[in-house]
């Protein structure tokens, strides 16, 4: 049910944000070619870490999950200023 799903997401957001901070300090800090955001997982019923990596090699240390949260990696290619 949509309302239940939304309530679950709202209730779990503080834990998801805390996990994102822990994930960031463990895997992303000091890696300028990585960034992370919080989003919904593929099924839309829980939070997921959304990792943006410039290269496949930059992403190789990233786990598939972190605690109870899925981790989804997207390879963005190099960011170039225009």
Q: Dihedral angle at the C-alpha atoms of 41, 26, 79, 58, nearest 10 degrees?
A: -90
Using pLDDT thresholds of 50, 70 and 90, give the confidence band for residue 80: low
Q: Classify 14 as helix, strand or coil.
A: helix
Q: What is the pLDDT of residues 15-30, one digit of tens each?
A: 999 999 999 999 999 9
Q: What is the pLDDT of residues 20-64, one digit of tens each?
A: 999 999 999 999 999 999 999 999 999 999 999 999 999 999 999
Contact predicate 44/67, CB 8 Å: no
Q: Classify 56 as helix, strand or coil.
A: coil
- Predicted TM-score (pTM) of the model is 0.85
């Amino acid at each position: 049910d949509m309302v239940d799903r939304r309530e679950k997401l709202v209730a779990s957001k503080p834990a998801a944000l805390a996990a994102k901070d822990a994930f960031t300090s463990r895997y992303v800090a000091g890696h300028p070619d990585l960034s992370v955001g919080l989003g919904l997982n593929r099924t839309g019923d829980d939070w997921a870490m959304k990792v943006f990596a410039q290269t496949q090699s930059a992403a190789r240390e990233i786990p598939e999950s972190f605690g109870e949260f899925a981790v989804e990696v997207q390879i963005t290619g190099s960011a170039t200023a225009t």
